Structure 1
Amino acid sequence: MQLLWLRSDLRQHDNTALSAAAERGPVIAVFLISPQQWLSHDDAPCKVDFWLRNLRTLSDSLKQLNIPLLIRTAPTWEQAPSVLSELCQQFDIHAVHANQEYGINETRRDDAVAQTLEAQGIEFHRYLDQLLFQPGSILTQSGSYFQVFSQFRRICYNRLHMAMPALVTAPAGQTPLPIEHDFIPESVEGFATPSDTLQALWPAGEDEAQRRLATFTDEQIHYYQDERDLPAKPGTSQLSTYLAAGVISPRQCLHAALRSNNGEFESGSPGVFTWISELLWREFYKHILVGYPRVSRHRAFRPETEYLPWRDAPNELAAWKQGRTGFPIIDAAIRQLLATGWMHNRLRMVVAMFLTKNLLIDWREGERFFMQHLIDGDLAANNGGWQWSSSTGTDSVPYFRIFNPLTQSTRFDPEGLFIKHWLPELSDLNKKEVHNPALVGGLFGGVDYPAPMVNLSQSRDRALSAFKHLPSRQMLEVGHG
């Protein structure tokens, strides 16, 4: 008997571990519920709910293949080896199959499971599945992990031109087993059930993920380069939620994108090229997680930035988290996150840069807050994005490039449609005033909206000064020598 250990790969099609297990004999599947571990990772309640809803649809599709789905509890990942070992004894399992996950806790968990199972004569197989390339296979000439995305992307494109990663064939049905499917709980203790409205925005299941992918690649992908930065338009695929839970694979996304562009990467549609680059950003940050484990430990990628004099400003942090900064584009983005579990990608950068540069508050505060609310929360992508925006990370923006929220607002939401949707109290303002209600002042009776919490020019100068006075990396290396 083979055991499929499901994690962030909640799909039947193009699932490497599932297909490999099915080729070797009868399969049962298991998913571990780990509430304390998830809390320690700041996983959002809406994300945990999304996993449970996808497990229900996956259980139904596995039933068609006569593969039972079992649910076990391992409060933290330290219990995973014993829970899986017991399951293997119960059902006379010869081999366990799992798709690789990345991050220091995930790697330690899988190494511990492998050690326990192999001591009992049970094989443990790990497969490349949530990435296009094995971490460690895309390296610089000196044999280190890339730190600059554009160089990483070039190598990826060269490899993809030589050989496209093939889609994995879905398994056929197996002979029914005398094992009952487990009941999948509606909720997990410690994680509130999100509103019906939020759930309705993110229907579960592979069919929905494939429908979104098809809708996007049929037409919208060709406008992606022009419209992806406009939060009032449906310019993005909104597939990140399904990718994070593994309801769809990057291989499926890549194949669909290329089909819509006659198999071309760089030539043809600029939208396709730009969207594939976004898939590769996701890839890049996971490779960084493996190559530079310190980012899994809440450390800055650029060591010298650990010396930044971050401000302890709890009231300002609270106002930012509640969308009360007095800058409409920031506040609208935060309200979108709180209501939907998702934030437009351009606004993630604007909001992150405001917190880390204009307020000079530690990026780790923002990273954690995002993870606690994002339905597509992913350690690698979230950490990578926050460190990029705060100029502490790989390939990061030069510290002196600081997005001005008013400029970003007028450029990417020129009519104020996004702002007015999320801040209805500003709906009567014209398209100039809506970006900066302070312009209205008391002249027209004002609006019920806070004044800007910070002077953009002065706060920019404060951030520049903080970065300018950091010790250089060379000085740190000498000091540690």
Structure 2
Amino acid sequence: MLLWFRHDIRVHDNSALEYFLTHRKNTDKAIYYVLDELWQDYHWSAIKIDFIKRHLELLTKQLAQLGIELVIHKVADHQAQVAHLSQYCQQHNIDTLVVNREHEINEVRRDQQLIKQGLKLQYFESDVIVPKGRVLNQSGEMFKVFTPFKKAWLSYVRDHGVDYIARYDQLGDTAQETEHSLSSSWPLVDTVEAQVIPQFLDDKLEDYHHQRDIPSIKGTSGLSPYLAIGVLSPRYLLRLLLQGYPDLLLSSDSSRFSWLNELIWREFYRHLLDAHPRLCMHQNFNQKYDHLRWRDDSQAYQAWCQGKTGYPLVDAAMRQLVQTGWMHNRLRMVVASFLTKHLLIDWRLGEQFFMQHLIDGDLAANNGGWQWAASTGCDAQPYFRVFNPIRQSERFDPKGDFIRKYIPELNDVPNKHIHFPHYYLADKQHQYWPAIVEHKAARERAIAFFKG
């Protein structure tokens, strides 16, 4: 028997690991594949890959304390993975691979190849709170609207509880990191569990519902990178929530429910990707938009990528992404709306750019978010809703604190002009670039584009 780590490189709440510990022999090992070339084909960012490799070092030390040797191999792609696994299992008389299921289509096809070669895959599921396929509408299909999915999801959790596996608190301290790397500003997950999560639940959860939209403060949990690479379990987070607030599943109007709502959105997109594998191939969920003729405007696209649109909030957000590998969630909606509605550029280009830079790049969430903004997705915003980047800036960065952090060129612009400084700067020598599109005209063009 061989334990195969994939998007689940953790020792707590890991169903496959729990089964392996219960049934293994002393000679059984665990394996992990570093897929640098394939990750690049998937447009994974360098900071995310570095984040994974740091956690592999942590996992190796933790497994050693459990008496498990982690064998790490570097291969090019899924085909090489299949070939190496087949050979490895044959050499070591292994007939069963213990795994947590992956739902992306290429990974599903890889698993099918291994099964055809005679290997048994003992499947578990650890990337969601409610197993995929358990929350369905009355027709037995995946929901196409979030709100009824949420209601059914909450009902399922209330009825069935959370199938959580206790973590291994008996593990001793692991050696601290000494080398600086791309992702070093993000602590390892053991530190996050011991310090960051308790602090968030104790000090920030109560105000999360309104602070989460203000990019100049750290009002979000910052846990998305850990969920994205599978070092943190969503079931573990829900368990902690319910320990502190046991009635939360019945209190959707509670301020604390806002954070749980975000976890449910994550579930929604992962269930959706599992039910509709074509989303893995960058297809529109709403197929009536398949024939939209997106604008081929490389100059406008590059201005968006470089944070030179002339809209300070959009530009500051793009600079944050490129400089830090992360972007505030409210701003992800703003910049995605700008690319797809103001510039009428294909959402797939934005989706790819995000994956190339985000530390928390996740196919299900990234695809879902971009199709939501582009109005082509499941339960997406209506096509006639076009975010006004000036109004968004006035609402969520009223004093321009976030803008000035990433666009110091605007430090001297007064607060009332910071959100669209061009009229104020008209008679002054200044380095800030002009707006590449006028909001009102762009909005009218976008509505006509989608309506047609």
What's 1:450 paired with? 433
**1:338-349 equivalent positions in 2, closer than 5 A:** 338-349=322-333
Residues 39 and 395 (structure 1), Cα distance of their counterparts in 2 relative to 1, 3 Å cut: same
- 1:125-147 Cα offsets, whole Å, 9 max, x none, are 11011011222211111111111
Which residue identity is paired with 2:308? R
Is residue 2:11 matched to residue 1:12? yes
> How far off is 1:5 after superposition?
0.8
Q: 2:295–2:345: 8 Å Cα contact kept in structure 1?
A: yes
Alignment of 1:10-159 (within 5 A): 10-26=9-25, 27-116=28-117, 119=118, 122-159=119-156
Aligned ranges for residues 230-245 of structure 1 at < 5 Å? 230-245=214-229
> 1:19–1:170: 8 Å Cα contact kept in structure 2?
no
Which residue of the partner structure matches residue 260 of structure 2? Answer: 276
How many residues align structurally?
444
CA distance in 2, matches of 1:449, 1:98: 52
C-alpha distance in structure 2 between counterparts of 1:334 and 1:29, whole Å: 40
Deviation larger for 453-462 or 157-166: 157-166
SS of structure 1 residue aligned to 2:340: helix
8 Å contact kept, 2:50–2:181 = no
Distance 1:262 1:245, change over 3 A: same
Aligned to 2:293: 309
Whole-Å Cα distance in 2 between the matches of residues 210 and 99 of structure 1? Answer: 25
Secondary structure of 1:31 counterpart: strand
Compute the RMSD of aligned alpha carbons. Answer: 2.0
Give, in angstroms, the shift of residue 393 of structure 1. Answer: 0.2
Query: CA contact under 8 A between 1:266 and 1:273: conserved in structure 2?
Result: no
Aligned residue for 1:467?
450
Match of 1:166 in 2: 163
1:263 Cα offset (Å): 4.2
SS at match of 1:432: helix
- 2:236 equivalent in structure 1: 252
Task: Within 5 Å, give how 1:387-426 maps onto structure 2.
Answer: 387-426=371-410
Give 2:420's aligned residue. Answer: 436
Alpha-carbon offset, residue 373 of structure 1: 0.5
Q: Which residue of 1 aligns with 2:175?
A: none
User: d(CA) in 2 for partners of 1:171 and 1:24?
Assistant: 17
Letter in 1 for 2:139: S
- Out of 352, 366, 376, the residue aligned to residue 382 of structure 1 is 366
Q: Structure 2 counterpart of 1:235, which letter?
A: G
Structure 2: distance between partners of 1:37 and 1:337: 23
Deviation (angstroms), 1:436: 0.9
Distance (whole Å) between structure 2 residues aligned to residue 171 and residue 451 of structure 1? 56
Of the structure 1 ranges 260-269 and 232-241, higher mean CA displacement relative to structure 2 is found in 260-269
Alpha-carbon deviation of 1:369?
0.3
Secondary structure class of the residue paired with 1:199: coil
Question: For residue 297 of structure 2, what is the amino acid of its counterpart?
Answer: A
Superposition misfits of 4+ residues, deviation over 6 angstroms: 171-174
Give the C-alpha shift of residue 93 in structure 1: 2.7
How far apart, CA to CA, are the structure 2 residues paired with 1:65 and 1:372?
A: 35
Q: Which amino acid aligns with 1:458?
A: A
The 8 Å contact of residues 323 and 331 in structure 1, kept in 2 or not, is answered as yes
Show the 5 A alignment for 1:334-373: 334-373=318-357
Identical-residue share of aligned pairs (%): 41
Deviation at 1:36, TM superposition (A): 2.4
Judged with a 3 Å threshold, the aligned counterparts in structure 2 of structure 1 residues 97 and 441 are, in CA distance, closer, same or farther, namely: same
Unaligned runs of 5+ in 2: 172-177
1:389, 1:396 within 8 Å by CA — same for their partners in 2?
A: yes
Cα pair distance change 1:206/1:106, threshold 3 Å: farther
Bigger drift between 386-395 and 300-309 goes to 300-309
Using structure 1 for the length normalisation, give the TM-score.
Answer: 0.89
Deviation string, structure 1 residues 414-464 (Cα, Å, up to 9, x no partner): 111111111111111111111111021233x24311011101111111110
- Paired with 1:234 and 1:271, the residues of 2 have a C-alpha distance of 17
Q: 1:357 to 1:36 in 2, by over 3 A?
A: same
Note the C-alpha offset of 1:210. 4.6
Tell me the CA shift for residue 62 of structure 1.
Answer: 1.0
For the Cα contact (< 8 Å) 1:229–1:345, is it kept in 2?
A: yes
**Partners in 1 of 2:286 and 2:168 — Cα distance?**
45
Larger deviation, residues 164-173 vs 281-290: 164-173
- Cα deviation code 1:221-277 (max 9, x no counterpart): 111111111111111101000001111100011111222324422428823211111
- Secondary structure at the counterpart of residue 2 of structure 2: strand
Deviations 1:297-346 (A, max 9, x none): 11101111112121000011011001111111001111111111111001
SS for the counterpart of 1:109 is helix
Corresponding residue number in structure 2 for 1:3 = 2
What's the CA shift string for 1:364-409, capped at 9, x where partnerless?
A: 0000000011110000000000000000000011111110000000
Any conservation in 1 of the 2:9–2:230 contact (CA below 8 Å)? yes
CA contact (8 A) 1:167 1:252 kept: yes
Question: Which residue identity does 1:17 align to in structure 2?
Answer: A
| 1:268/1:173 CA distance change after superposition, 3 Å | closer
Runs of 5+ in structure 1 lacking a partner?
175-185, 187-194, 470-481
What is the CA–CA distance in structure 2 between the aligned matches of 1:171 and 1:110, rounded to whole Å?
Answer: 29
> What's the CA shift for 1:205?
3.2
Offset, 1:74: 2.6
Q: Distance in 1 between matches of 2:20 and 2:170?
A: 13
Deviations 1:110-132 (A, max 9, x none): 2222322xx2xx43111011011
